[in-house]
Amino acid sequence: AQTVTQSQPEMSVQEAETVTLSCTYDTSESDYYLFWYKQPPSRQMILVIRQEAYKQQNATENRFSVNFQKAAKSFSLKISDSQLGDAAMYFCAYRSWVGATNKLIFGTGTLLAVQP
Amino acid sequence: DGGITQSPKYLFRKEGQNVTLSCEQNLNHDAMYWYRQDPGQGLRLIYYSQIVNDFQKGDIAEGYSVSREKKESFPLTVTSAQKNPTAFYLCASLRLRQGTLQNTGELFFGEGSRLTVL
pLDDT digits (tens, 9 = 90+) for A23-59: 999 998 888 889 999 999 888 899 999 998 888 899 9
- Residue B88, pLDDT score: 96
- Band of residue A22 on the pLDDT scale cut at 50, 70, 90: very high
- Positive or negative, the CA dihedral B32, B38, B44, B45 is negative
Q: In the predicted model, what is the mean pLDDT of residues B19-37?
A: 94
The CA distance from B25 to B22, in Å, is: 10
Q: Is B102 on the interface with A (CB under 8 A)?
A: yes
Q: In the predicted model, what is the mean pLDDT of residues B70-75?
A: 97
Q: In the predicted model, what is the mean pLDDT of residues A80-98?
A: 92
Q: Is B63 on the interface with A (CB under 8 A)?
A: no
Q: Nearest 5 degrees, angle CA B31-CA A48-CA A2?
A: 55
CA B83 to mean position of chain CA atoms: 18
User: Is the N-terminal amide bond of B8 cis, ω within 30° of 0?
Assistant: yes
Contact list in A for residue B92 (CB cut-off 8 A) is: 45, 104
Encode B44-61: b = buried (16+ Cβ within 10 Å), e = exposed: bbbbbbbeeeebeebebb
The CA distance from A1 to A28, in Å, is: 8
- Band of residue B96 on the pLDDT scale cut at 50, 70, 90: confident
Least confident span in A46-55, B8-17, B102-111: B102-111
- Residue A98, pLDDT score: 63
Cβ separation of A100 and B50 shorter than 8 Å? yes
Residue A29: how many CB atoms within 10 A of its CB? 12
For B109, the closest of A44, A100, A107 (CB atoms) is A44
Q: In the predicted model, what is the mean pLDDT of residues B51-76?
A: 96
Residue A94: how many CB atoms within 10 A of its CB? 24
Q: In the predicted model, what is the mean pLDDT of residues A98-116?
A: 85
